[in-house]
Structure 1
């Protein structure tokens, strides 16, 4: 379906073959305490043909977002933008004042951020926010704006396009909200769309559908796009051109196919290697079971006869041995983070037990002893919200030292230095606040705070999802090394299947709160899988530029649950190999064979349960 968007202004360049975006000699500097200026971006040059997508890739701190925002004339406080040429269409961005820039931001230049949840006001309906750019810039009346929004909702494959705008942000899924943010950006018919890591926090199946929707909508609108990402597999699917950045400077640029198949820079080769994580050897775990999760049912609301009013987890159980790592994967809403909260005591289970070395733990954190709290530590996904911005790194790490071990003064100071050495951070950073650190440095401090307790179990909840591939790989290497050296049992929660497959000793697959498969790493690359696990594996992007176009759409809506009877297979509404008269009438049996467990009727027969 063709979407009728606002046409580009008539003042645009007359030569349709000319670059829609041109950057030459872009440098961005920030003031230093001694009065000098330091370059954070230096001598950047590139051009983007009309209607095509350029990807900016590199590690955290490489300048990707800084460069992208400069295309809107935006820079952080104290920074200065200078360029020989900074042009979008017929607009000289570097020469425009703030009043003029406000007139083009959100109209001729649109921005799609990483976090859709942060971009929407929870107290207003979705439609009122999506059409706001049209109304603010006086580009359409309310009725016309609503019609354009509905057309975009339909183009972006959103459910119930006529009415979804009447919902509030919390009433739609993360993937739907991400597409709705794209609608808000595209509704004015912009000449340039900037996409800043828009799929980083999405699970693999949702990411596929969002990428497909983004690519189709941008192509239909005729907009030019700059895509900021650290995920090379994603970049491969959406971009024609790539600029590789390191420490604010260009390393190389060229057509996507050439960059990905024949990189000229050693740094680019490093990024490509980090995007294809090597399989780590399985840990030689001791025989003792450190953590046992037994028949956990959990959710929200009033608990009646051991069942919550809003169930999330149903009959989930597993064990983790000392020094080994269990990977927990599944789509958003599958119950991964809820499971971590139950183990940590943040969310008391409705029924079932969490046992530490065979001893049952009180379900609620408030009922656990200080020693029990110490032995299970949770490393949160977002270090920005987990770390107190008013405290120094030393204060943050010293707090659990005092709480759990009674260390203060010189002893605490010395232990903080030891922990900084352990996580490979310079001791000089101890007196900085977390706001002065990079994303990777913050996540290391987040990890050090958990390690300060000297735990037996480490719960890592999406700890690398917001990090670039190189920094994320470094964090994983660090966790892997520490859990081997210290004998820590690790539960690693992620939607990144490639990372889990490379990093973990055993893998647990959750769907709609129920464990549908559990297997050792060695068996995960085999052919026999639950159909849902097969869907997850097939949804991992690869470096083939044709992958997105050739991949079939996922069957059914994400996390649909059978409405026939809750005891039936929860994947039934989406299962492409369901057996009529069996799957829709009998609960799936659990088949256990050679360390692998699959909850599926087909798993009992020969071959792949997903076929």
Structure 2
């Protein structure tokens, strides 16, 4: 397994725009090359071209791609179909969106071997079980009988890796495979991916914007910007001696600096959550939901303060934010806001209560109406809460765009014409349009690349300093939370385990689970994952 890959003069266009500009590189058998850069740099576009594929509206306009003895771009459609899933395989960012929910995992994992006629069903299933074992999946003998919704996100990502590896491909493409995972799950998936890639001597391309993850996986790094190569070198050299200013800026953004407002917070209690419990599903006679997510949460947030809430997927972080926002009805306890008890649901809250608490969702793509212009999106809360019309409305829209550092020209554009970072800024502007006292930020940077995410964090800190807004900042990234928050609340399985003040971030001992989360965030240096594995074996 593992074949040389040679790319020469790869040129990809969309209409009159160049997406990848005459790119050339080579990967030796058994090596892992990382493609890094901001959103829109051409990472995924380049990776897909290695399979001879271009997304809708894109054209591979020139160049060559060779995988072993196969000249990928000269193959006819039948030849490319024979190549994909057999000699080159692809592990996508979102496993949940990539599996068929109506078929078992085993059916889908063995499908490539059946399509390409490589082995019979029984042999393929035996090989799948061996891969499940290699990838450290629980109950490898029976997990294939489950459906996609019956396993966790990290498990599903590893099942996708098994599907990609079952045909023993010459090249494996991993496209942001751990971005959507929490830190502890990401660590386990990284371990599994790296072990399998090393043991099988696979040639691999790892697409990511996370340099700390890349440092653990890649032998070489290729830095892309606007479709052009900035530099390519061994991972150690890129991390220690980057040649280009752009690479230096990526490295700087990957090391989050504190962004806490120097003014600190006031003494006025803004939000008082007491004994809060909430869940989903039908309720019993006592009003308890079928699935209890939050259990007896207590939390106080003062005016001007930013509190971070961290924990693994399923810990109850987002449910807490949704309960405060009125999007889910608590089944116990209560929420006091500015000395008044908040009604449990949006429908029961006053217009003024709705205005004072705003939420910014994780996925900017789905939070903005794709058929409305940015001007119309920002105008809606201004009309609803402030009653603005005419010149006053237009003036305030321009002021909001200035606040989030977007040009006035975006007002006439649809969300589809904006980058991920720009869309998230529009989400912030929409929240600010109501002049809220509290903004709930739910994983607002997890889908963004390092540079754009750092810019959004800077913006949040600046708005807090200038407007005195308070934040409840939900995240699974401890480094991000430490950079922007005064205190950190640690959650697991719906319970609040600890609350750590900024002054104590670097002073222990802390709750063991907090320390686990801290240890699980990849460090920006080679060998970190090896050290973690060694430490795990010796404890």
TM-score (norm 1): 0.85
Q: 1:414 aligns with which of 373, 382, 395?
A: 395
Contact 1:205 1:331 (C-alpha < 8 Å) held by counterparts: yes
| Aligned equivalent of 1:580 | none
| Aligned equivalent of 2:44 | 65
| Aligned equivalent of 2:303 | 322
Contact 2:258 2:484 (C-alpha < 8 Å) held by counterparts: yes
In the alignment, is residue 527 of structure 1 matched against residue 508 of structure 2? yes
In the alignment, is residue 242 of structure 1 matched against residue 221 of structure 2? yes
Q: 2:329 aligns with which of 348, 356, 379?
A: 348
| Aligned equivalent of 1:551 | 532
| Aligned equivalent of 1:25 | 9
In the alignment, is residue 161 of structure 1 matched against residue 145 of structure 2? no
What's the CA shift for 1:371?
Answer: 1.6
CA spacing shift, 1:554–1:158, aligned 2, 3 Å: farther
Q: 1:136 aligns with which of 115, 134, 141?
A: 115
What's the CA shift for 1:210?
Answer: 0.1
Q: Which runs of 5+ in 2 are unaligned?
A: none
Contact 1:297 1:307 (C-alpha < 8 Å) held by counterparts: no
| Aligned equivalent of 2:429 | 448
CA spacing shift, 1:157–1:381, aligned 2, 3 Å: same
Q: 1:288 aligns with which of 242, 264, 268?
A: 268
Q: 1:176 aligns with which of 140, 150, 155?
A: 155
Contact 1:295 1:352 (C-alpha < 8 Å) held by counterparts: yes
| Aligned equivalent of 1:506 | 487
Instruction: Return the alpha-carbon distance in structure 1 between the equivalents of residues 384 and 159 of structure 2.
Output: 44
Contact 2:260 2:485 (C-alpha < 8 Å) held by counterparts: no
CA spacing shift, 1:203–1:56, aligned 2, 3 Å: same
Instruction: Return the alpha-carbon distance in structure 2 between the equivalents of residues 177 and 554 of structure 1.
Output: 27
| Aligned equivalent of 1:254 | 233
Contact 1:23 1:83 (C-alpha < 8 Å) held by counterparts: no
Contact 1:110 1:185 (C-alpha < 8 Å) held by counterparts: yes
Q: 1:542 aligns with which of 506, 509, 523?
A: 523
CA spacing shift, 1:99–1:393, aligned 2, 3 Å: farther
In the alignment, is residue 215 of structure 1 matched against residue 194 of structure 2? yes
| Aligned equivalent of 1:198 | 177
In the alignment, is residue 391 of structure 1 matched against residue 372 of structure 2? yes
Over aligned residue pairs, what C-alpha RMSD do you find?
Answer: 1.8
What's the CA shift for 1:427?
Answer: 1.2
Q: Counting helix residues as a fraction of each chain, which structure ranks higher?
A: 2
Instruction: Return the alpha-carbon distance in structure 1 between the equivalents of residues 531 and 144 of structure 2.
Output: 31
CA spacing shift, 1:122–1:113, aligned 2, 3 Å: same
| Aligned equivalent of 1:335 | 316
Instruction: Return the alpha-carbon distance in structure 2 between the equivalents of residues 303 and 325 of structure 1.
Output: 36
| Aligned equivalent of 1:430 | 411
CA spacing shift, 1:488–1:136, aligned 2, 3 Å: same
Instruction: Return the alpha-carbon distance in structure 2 between the equivalents of residues 412 and 293 of structure 1.
Output: 35
What's the CA shift for 1:319?
Answer: 1.3
What's the CA shift for 1:295?
Answer: 1.1
What's the CA shift for 1:138?
Answer: 2.1
Secondary structure of the structure 1 residue equivalent to 2:4: strand
What's the CA shift for 1:102?
Answer: 1.9
Secondary structure of the structure 2 residue equivalent to 1:270: helix
CA offsets 1:1-35 (integer angstroms, 9 cap, x no match): xxxxxx68xxxxxxxxxx7111122121221xxxx
CA offsets 1:500-545 (integer angstroms, 9 cap, x no match): 1111111100011111110211201112100111111111111232
Contact 2:259 2:458 (C-alpha < 8 Å) held by counterparts: no
Contact 1:460 1:492 (C-alpha < 8 Å) held by counterparts: yes
| Aligned equivalent of 2:252 | 273
In the alignment, is residue 85 of structure 1 matched against residue 64 of structure 2? yes
Larger displacement relative to structure 2 (386-395 or 408-417): 408-417
Instruction: Return the alpha-carbon distance in structure 2 between the equivalents of residues 543 and 421 of structure 1.
Output: 34
What's the CA shift for 1:97?
Answer: 2.6
Q: Which runs of 5+ in 1 are unaligned?
A: 1-6, 9-18, 32-36, 556-575, 577-611
| Aligned equivalent of 2:280 | 300
What's the CA shift for 1:373?
Answer: 1.3
- Equivalent pairs counted in the alignment come to 536
